[in-house]
């Protein structure tokens, strides 16, 4: 399975569509014969393309900030499923670690583990088989772990190191 983060791709595509609609509408407004209609279309299209540009800049800012870091995908033995760790670093207040299971070429996903920041590392995740996943998290108590869930097709086992 080739791993694609579809949410980022869709957000980028929507921003490009907003920019394109705004620019095309602004250019086509010159051909309108009524002056009031021309200015109305220009007034509507300019903010639309501006919002698209702003959305693209925001998307770039968030992707290059250190707040959110994704691990490389960890594939199941058959390669049909993948796991990815997402760490949200919130600075002095801590943060959160989330393990997400992806299947159906990345179109389907489910959060199978969540806990405090830095609780899970890629070395602590091991596929036992295509239907069983073992997550070893750091810490001796369940207080720092907030969720450990299985799916219909994959049994998730969470253990403390």
pLDDT band, very low/low/confident/very high, at 113 (cuts 50, 70, 90): very high
pLDDT band, very low/low/confident/very high, at 134 (cuts 50, 70, 90): very high
Q: Which residue has the higher pLDDT, 49 or 74?
A: 74
C-alpha to C-alpha distance for 27 and 127, rounded to whole angstroms = 55
Task: List, as own/partner pairs, every contact residues 11-20 make where C-beta atoms lie below 8 angstroms and the sequence separation is at least 24, other chains included.
Answer: 11/55, 11/59, 12/56, 12/59, 14/55, 15/52, 15/53, 15/55, 15/56, 15/59, 16/52, 16/56, 17/52, 18/48, 18/49, 18/51, 18/52, 18/55, 19/49, 19/52, 19/53, 19/56, 20/52
Q: What is the pLDDT of residue 33?
A: 62
Question: Residue 120: is its pLDDT beyond 60?
Answer: yes
Q: What does the pLDDT look like over 10-68, one tens digit per residue?
A: 777 877 887 887 777 777 776 666 666 777 777 777 777 777 788 777 777 766 666 77
**The two three-digit tokens of residue 51, written as one number:** 């919002």
Query: Could you give the percent of the chain with pLDDT greater than 70?
Result: 81
Q: What is the pLDDT of residue 3?
A: 64
């Amino acid at each position: 399975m080739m791993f694609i983060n579809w949410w980022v791709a869709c957000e980028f595509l929507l921003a490009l569509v907003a920019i394109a609609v705004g620019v095309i509408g602004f250019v086509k407004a010159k051909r309108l014969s009524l002056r009031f209609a021309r200015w109305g279309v220009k007034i509507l299209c300019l903010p639309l393309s501006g919002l698209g540009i702003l959305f693209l800049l925001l998307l770039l800012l968030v992707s290059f900030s250190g707040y959110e870091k994704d691990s490389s995908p960890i594939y199941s033995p058959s390669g049909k499923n993948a796991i990815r760790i997402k760490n949200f670093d919130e600075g002095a207040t801590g943060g959160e670690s989330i393990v997400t299971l992806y299947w159906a070429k990345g179109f389907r996903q489910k959060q199978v583990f969540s806990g405090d920041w830095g609780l899970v590392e890629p070395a602590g995740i091991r596929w036992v088989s295509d239907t069983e996943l073992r997550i070893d998290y750091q810490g001796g108590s369940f207080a720092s772990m907030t969720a450990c869930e299985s799916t219909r097709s994959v049994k998730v086992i969470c253990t403390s190191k």
